[in-house]
Structure formats: C-alpha cells, structure tokens
Amino acid sequence: MSLKDILTPFTAWGNIVKEPITIKDPINNRPGAPRYRGFHKNDITKCIGCGSCEEICPNNAIDLLPVEGIETKDGDSGLRPRIDYGRCCWCGLCVDVCTTGSLTLSNEYKWIEEGNADAYRFTPGVDKKPWDKNELGWNKPVPNYEFYALDRVEMQELEPNKRDNSFIEIVQGFSKEQAQLEADRCVECGICVAACPAHMGIPAYIKAIRDDDLEHGLNILYDTNPLPEICGRICTHKCESVCSLGHRGEPLSIRWLKRYIADQNPSEEYKKILETENIEKNGKKVAIIGAGPSGLSAAYYLALLGYEVKIFELYPEAGGMMRYGIPEYRLPYDQIDKDIDYILSLGVEIQYNTRVGGDVSLDELKEKYDAVFAGTGLHLGRSTRIPGSDHKNVYQSIELLSKITKGEEINLTEKIVVIGGGNVAMDITRSLARLQKQKFGKVQIITTSLETEDILPADVEEVVEAREENAVINPGWGPKSVEIIDGKIKGLNVVRCLSVFDEEHRFSPKFDEDDKKFFEGDMIVESIGQGMDISYIAEDIKSSIEFGPRGRIVVDKYFQSSAKWLFVGGDIIQGPDVIHGIANGHKAALGIDKYLHH
C-alpha cells in the first residue's frame, strides 16, 4: 500500500468546514441537476420529422404524428414526435441521434396530472409545457459527441493538371472501405425517398452497402431506376439537398453510393442478379420515340411487363442528351452503354438514325403499335437575339456538345465567350477549355451570366472545377451586343445585371446601363436554355391534344395525353434532368399497361 492510499481517506475531513446545502422545501423546490434528463423539448421550426428519434427509441415511446399547420414538403415530413411517458425511460438516445439538434431534454422531472393519464402523452414544442423555456437539461454534451460522422468520406478526383487537356472521367469512385464508411453515416430516416422523383429505396440500398450485399443493392436500384450507372454519375441528387445529416454537417453522398453499387456489379451478371431471363410476352407492341432517359426507362419497364418494344432514335447511338449533351469527363460512354446494353438484352429494339415525322410518321406508329410513348427531350438551343447573335461564329452549346460526342471538327478559336450560368454552360465551357488546351496549349475562355455568383443555377462543384481548369467565370452581366468589326467577332458587350427576377419570381431582369464591360473573344457560345421540337406531331393529331403553358403537352398522372394512345414524358413535360425522365418513363409504362389491359 502506498502513502497516497493511506492519506486519501483523510481528505474527506476538508468537508467539515464547508457549509451544508439545505433544501428547505424538498417536495416543491428541488431542481434537477443542470444536465438532468427530464421531460422533452422540441424546436419544431428546426425539426424535420425524420423519425430518427422514433427509430432508436428502445421502448417504442415515440410516435411520429402529423401536426396541424406544418405542411409535408421536401425535407420535412410534416410529422413531429409524440412522447409516451408511460414507456419513456429517459435514456436520452433520441436527443443523441437527432440530426437537426431540435430535440432536447429539460431538467424538469416533476409533473402532476390529477386523474388524467392521457396527459402524459404529448408532442413537445406543439403542446405547450411550463419547462419549454428551461435552458437546463440534456443535449449533446460536447461538440464532437456524435453517433455518426458529420463530414463526408472524401471522393477521389483527378487533379486539375491531370484532367484539363483530356476527357477522361474526373470522379474516380469509392473503394469498398470508403463506401462502407460513408454508408455508416446514414440514419435511415427516409426523408430522401420523398424528395427523389423516382422515389428510390435509398436507405435500403445504402444498408445493402453496409451489409456488403451489392447484388441485393442492385435489385433495389432497378426497382425504380434502370439507369444506375448513368444516374450514379449525373443525377441532380435532389435527395442530398434534403438529407437530414446536412442540417448539422455534410449530407450523405447518396449519388456516389448508388454509383458504387452499379460499378461493382458486372454487366454480364445482370440478368442472373435481376432475375429477368424468362419474361412472358403478352402479344402487344409499344413504339417509343427517343432513346433518352424517359424512353429507355419506359422501354425497360414495358419489356418486364411482356411488351414488344421498339425505340425510334434520331441519333446514331442511344442515350439522348445523356450522350450528346453531357461531356465524357462527367459521363463516360462505356457506362452509358452498360445501362443501355442490359435494357436491349431484354428484347428491346432500337432503330437508329430515324426521324419521326420524316423517315416515319407518328400516324404510322399509331397504326402499327398499340400505344406510343414520346420522350424527345430538349434538343433546341435558345438565342439571346441580341444584335450580332446571327453571326456564323455564334453557336449554341447543345450543337457543339453534340459535335464533340460525334467526334466532329469544331471551328475552335483562341478566345471564346460563353453566355449562361447553368450546368450546360459549365459543360460547354469546360469542354471547349480542354480543346483549347489541346490545340493552343492554353485556355482563354470566359463565361458570363445574368445571375450573380450566389444564385448561379449551376452546381457549385461545376463552377469550382471550371475555374480550376483555368476558365474564367464572371457572373452578373447581361449581354447587350456582339461586337463585330469587318465581319469578324471581337467580343461581347455586357452591362451589369441588378436583378434577374421580380417580386413574384418572374423572369424580369433589370440592368445598370452605365456599368459596362467588354469580354474579348472571336467566338460566342449561347447556353441560356433549351427548347423542345415537337414538329413530328402532325396538325390533325395536335388538334386532339391539349396544350398548356409554354406549349407543353398536358398529361395525366400516368403521362397519358388527351389522345389516349399517346403518352409523353421526359424533359418536354418535366425537368430538365435525368431522374425526372426516368421517373416519367416508369410511370408511363404503368399507365400504358393500365390503358391496354385494364
């Protein structure tokens, strides 16, 4: 025994001189300790009704219930937790797992209700209680006290100097260890499912990654999305914008986890994994116009339902804007082919280089097929129509991106100005920058837009990576005229844009005409949006179709037009983005089946 062991008991003698703490009224006046776990509080303005508290409660003491005045919307289920104190054991797990930090415990532990046991079930933050303003109690004790990591697992990407002169894919994908680490962050709340246009089973396929059961994960993907390789790379990932983890940290990398599952499953095994080797045909035929995301999605689900499906495609290869509008450094062609080849293996046929309305008429398709689905996308560029925009060296981004895919030569110049602030504008900026680097050894391209930096519609990473590749992004300017001298373009005259939308969020830009700038360039590219081409619909058929605002065809919830045999989906109805097209095609396939068999 050491000397310290002998002396330690005598240290208690120091309490002899301390004044004792006396509680004069212990029945009515005995506050809990500062971090006592008492009754619940909830800041319902921060709560999103994700259900993490309900899921983790070991005693089933929490139920998520709708609350009057709180709407169901993206990122908020409209539900709030009700606590049953007949079951609650005050363990505090619900507070510890709360992704938004809205749920806490007061240090109040006394509550008396004469003859009313039902009162001990209440919704914190909704049903007002005396302890609502009590600052003391239990919350996450230290900043890093978390059940899940707040930061994403870093995704490996090519360095700018290794990618800026080629179209090799930039994002390298997760390793198994990285994917499982990132999947471990998921709390399986399901808020993401509601936000996804295709309502994919996101928590379920992320769990499959944790369980290292990627074949099961692939089945979950294909339940609602037959283009997982494509979508795992270029999905607009709206699901991530509502991820409950994003309220206090970084949202889950849902898109990259989807890609991981698809990448790890070899395409030659798909039929065995997805159990689609024996499909019974039902004797009916469906024609599809366009092999873009909506057309391919419709074809896949119709094939599973036993239909004979033929796609009529304008271009020499399938994919639509996924192939002819998105650069290969974002979406490699072999990954597009992996998804498409599997759909073709189910018996779907594609007739390439065929223009509906020219090589074959819509009337012919109506006569030869039991139903028709049109998913023709947005392939027409829009012009600024400013003076000089009709010059031969003023191009549309869609036209140039298509030429790059086809390997056609572009009249590339040393100095280029791009007009536009969306992802397509960044795509053409970065594509032309690569071609400039290859041809001239340097990049001289500037991209400008009406929108200022804080409201640019392009993804932040697209803007950051464009600048890393030496493109200049100078937003907040409105194009006024193309400067032309002796028949040659010299650049673009712009003025400061003060605002893009009015008070009702209608497009109504305002400018400061005295704040001018000149962007030098001998080639101008317009990238301010895309339009649809429905010239393949003859006038007699148009008369039987209802059109809505901006010339869009009116469809029902199954994307069926008023001409009952014609279904329409994709970007010309809803979008533009791939995941909406996929969801449209799936719903239209169900609608076609309902129309033809029920």
457 assigned to some structural domain: yes
521 assigned to some structural domain: yes
**Would you say the C-alpha torsion 400, 403, 407, 411 has a positive or negative sign?**
negative
In this prediction, residue 1 carries a pLDDT of: 65
C-alpha 588 chain-centroid distance: 21
Task: Taking residues 325-335, report their average pLDDT.
Answer: 95
Q: φ and ψ at 310, to 5 degrees?
A: -130, 130
Which structure tokens are listed for 163? 């990618």
Residue 526 near residue 389 (C-beta atoms within 8 A):
yes
| Distance separating alpha carbons of residues 533 and 366, to the nearest angstrom | 19
For residue 24, what pLDDT band results from cuts at 50, 70 and 90? Answer: confident
Residue 520 neighbours by CB distance under 10 Å: 13
Residue 380 near residue 398 (C-beta atoms within 8 A):
yes
292 plus 347 within the same structural domain: yes
List the CATH number of the domain containing 109: 3.30.70.3270
Task: Taking residues 522-547, report their average pLDDT.
Answer: 93
Domain that holds residue 447: 380-530
Choice between 144 and 322, residue whose per-residue pLDDT is larger = 322
96 plus 65 within the same structural domain: yes
List the CATH number of the domain containing 492: 3.50.50.60
20 assigned to some structural domain: no
For residue range 55-92, list pLDDT tens digits in order: 999 999 999 999 998 988 889 999 999 999 999 999 99
265 plus 216 within the same structural domain: yes
Per-residue DSSP letter, 260: H
For residue range 401-423, list pLDDT tens digits in order: 999 999 999 999 999 999 999 99
Q: Which residues pair with 229 in a beta bridge?
A: none
Q: What is the pTM of this model?
A: 0.89
245 plus 345 within the same structural domain: no
Task: Taking residues 431-436, report their average pLDDT.
Answer: 97
Task: Taking residues 492-520, report their average pLDDT.
Answer: 94
Identify the weakest region by mean pLDDT among 23-27, 285-289, 399-403, 540-544.
23-27
In this prediction, residue 114 carries a pLDDT of: 80
422 plus 514 within the same structural domain: yes
Which structure tokens are listed for 12? 């208690």
For residue 8, what pLDDT band results from cuts at 50, 70 and 90? Answer: confident
Domain tally for the chain?
Answer: 4
Task: Taking residues 224-244, report their average pLDDT.
Answer: 95
436 plus 341 within the same structural domain: no
| Distance separating alpha carbons of residues 483 and 165, to the nearest angstrom | 29
For residue range 459-477, list pLDDT tens digits in order: 999 999 999 999 999 999 9
Supply the mean pLDDT for the chain: 93
**Is the pLDDT at 390 greater than 70, yes or no?**
yes
For residue range 33-50, list pLDDT tens digits in order: 899 999 999 999 999 999
| Distance separating alpha carbons of residues 135 and 84, to the nearest angstrom | 22
516 assigned to some structural domain: yes
